[in-house]
Amino acid sequence: MIFELILISIVTYYFWHWTFWKRRGLPGPWGVPIFGKAGAMLEDSFPPGYTLQKWTKEYGKIYGFTEGMQKVMVISDPDLVQEILVKQYDNFYGRKHNPVQGDPDKDKDIHIVGAQGFRWKRLRTITAPAFSNGSIKKVLTTMEDSTQELMKKLREESENGKAVNMHLFYQEYTFDVISRVAMGQPDSQMFKNPLLKDVKGFFEHNRWQIWMFSGGFPFAVSFLKWLFIKVGKFGAGPFIVVQKSVTDAVMSRIAQREADKKHGVEPGEAADYIDMFLNARAEVEHFGESNDEFHKSSSYNNRQLTTQEIISQCFVFLVAGFDTTAISLSYVTYFLALNPKIQSKLQDEVDKECPNDEITFDQLSKLKYMDNVIKESLRLFPFASFANSRRCMRNTVIGEQIVEAGVDVMIDTWTLHHDKNVWGNDVEEFKPERWDSPLTPQQAYLSFGAGPRVCLGMRFALLEQKGLLSHILKKYTFETNAKTQLPIKLVGRATARPENLFLSLKPRV
């Protein structure tokens, strides 16, 4: 009898959860009990951005689905999007997350992307100076050095019009830059850094089982995490290698600092992110902030990080800093190869503003057309849209819809960026010039998100792309060839990357 009662309770619990949106009268795809539509969100060959776009066509600008035990609302109405990301930030200060990513308040190893409330405020305040204009200006020297290494390799590989997979080159470049800037790698390790394989694996291994099971059975998350991290199940290999490498780098720097201290040597100016974060290190394991009183404007003066937070921050910058910028470079290059007139106009701008071999920060700041080209490419392919999500933290109303604390909201960025009513009838055209118009709806552009949690690395990513593209475009013209995928195929989950990008580089005369 007890067994039957328990069984009925479990079935009722899952059924109640699965029918949440139906009971609320909101349309959306059903999926299957327990897992809802989690499977569709874990497809590598059809990125979640496409999936949401497909569902929006069917269910409209606001709909809901379940993803394991998460209740997800999807929106693509520009006004509601602003409401969630900007105006009602105080009610949406968390980010959507699967239980396996940890408890943003209780876990020790949460990073800025996953943190919320006062903890997020503390992490963001301490890390933001790493991305200030002054800091990224200093980083340009490193970017220029890595660019020169890449140019040498490109020269060798692209001879006689040979097709080269530009995406692989961009991954080498961006990983080299972030490893030097964040992790103190002393010089370029391009094409010989063994960690790159694992960092790529981190994105390429889908690990669907862990997402799916921890979403459906959150009470078993500690066991699943144990299987993942300690036993190495579910394709954990690359994650474990990268995590260990970052932990070792931070711990050895702490040991170095302690040895220096014994000899009376004080730490000098921070040379990389590890140094910068260690300067804020506290001998505390967890601050455990309470968010009851959290509001955007609440003051909070704690400027310290625990050792575990330092490791987690370095980890997230290493992976976010590498993958995103490489993908963006690939899409910009793809659109340039398809649009020779735009490429030629961009080359004219680069020739005019950057006449010397060495390119400076001020020169890059003058490349306005290049800004437009990058923006437009990111409009058509907002490949990091998966990050544009929030968790509702306090019951509220959005438009006419009640949103309860605990509901996750995803912004269907692909629909928003391809909406004729927002961008006009030429919405599908690659048209960098549209960004010159004061009528361009900037608030509907979410390639880097919006509001207080807008991408922290945006300026860094733009500088890194502009620097490399300027050097390449001064010497070469991108052209498609028989190996170029037309149209390009996008794959992946957290980010939608190109399956490959084979292009020829024609030397300019």
Cβ neighbours, 10 Å, residue 78: 17
Mark residues 82-111: x for contact with ligand HEM by CB under 6 A, - for none: ---x--------------------------
Cβ nearer to ligand HEM, comparing 113 with 276: 113
Instruction: Find the binding residues for ligand HEM in span 6-45 (CB under 6 A).
Output: none
Which member of 320, 350, 370, 472 binds ligand HEM (CB under 6 A)?
A: 320
Q: DSSP secondary structure string, 59-85? A: H-SEEEEEETTEEEEEE--HHHHHIII
Mark residues 194-213: x for contact with ligand HEM by CB under 6 A, - for none: --------------------
Q: How far is the C-alpha of 241 from the C-alpha of 468, rounded, in Å?
A: 29
Cβ nearer to ligand HEM, comparing 363 with 495: 495
- Residue 401: which H helix or E strand, with range? strand 401-403
Instruction: Find the binding residues for ligand HEM in span 392-451 (CB under 6 A).
Output: 447-451
By CB under 6 A, is residue 317 in contact with ligand HEM? yes
Stretch touching ligand HEM by CB under 6 A, among 24-32, 134-142, 317-325, 350-358: 317-325
Q: DSSP secondary structure string, 165-196? A: EHHHHHHHHHHHHHHHHHH---S--TTT-THH
Strand ranges inside 440-501, DSSP E: 476-479, 490-491, 497-498
Cβ nearer to ligand HEM, comparing 32 with 128: 128
Query: Which one-letter DSSP state was computed for residue 34?
Result: T
Least distance in angstroms from the C-beta of 128 to ligand HEM: 9
By CB under 6 A, is residue 118 in contact with ligand HEM? no
Cβ nearer to ligand HEM, comparing 277 with 317: 317
By CB under 6 A, is residue 455 in contact with ligand HEM? yes
Alpha-carbon distances of 187 from 298, 453, 495, rounded to whole Å: 42, 32, 28
Least distance in angstroms from the C-beta of 130 to ligand HEM: 8
- Residue 365: which H helix or E strand, with range? helix 361-365
Number of residues that bind ligand HEM (CB under 6 A): 26
Instruction: Find the binding residues for ligand HEM in span 333-392 (CB under 6 A).
Output: 378, 384, 387-388
68 in Cβ contact with 212 (< 8 Å) = yes
383 in Cβ contact with 45 (< 8 Å) = no
Least distance in angstroms from the C-beta of 449 to ligand HEM: 2
Least distance in angstroms from the C-beta of 226 to ligand HEM: 28
Cβ nearer to ligand HEM, comparing 310 with 378: 378
In DSSP terms, which residues pair with 165 in a beta bridge? 502
Q: How far is the C-alpha of 21 from the C-alpha of 403, rounded, in Å?
A: 11
Parallel/antiparallel/unpaired status of strands 408-411 and 70-75: parallel
Q: Which tokens in the block code for residue 36?
A: 């809802």
Burial (CB < 10 A; 0-12, 13-18, 19+), residue 75, is: buried
Cβ nearer to ligand HEM, comparing 216 with 321: 321
Which member of 17, 24, 54, 124 binds ligand HEM (CB under 6 A)?
A: 124
State how far Cα 364 lies from the chain centre: 24
455 annotated ligand-binding residue: yes
Name the binding residues for heme. Answer: 455
**Interface residues toward ligand HEM, by CB under 6 A:** 85, 112-113, 124, 317, 320-321, 324-325, 328, 378, 384, 387-388, 447-451, 453-457, 460-461
Name the binding residues. Answer: 455
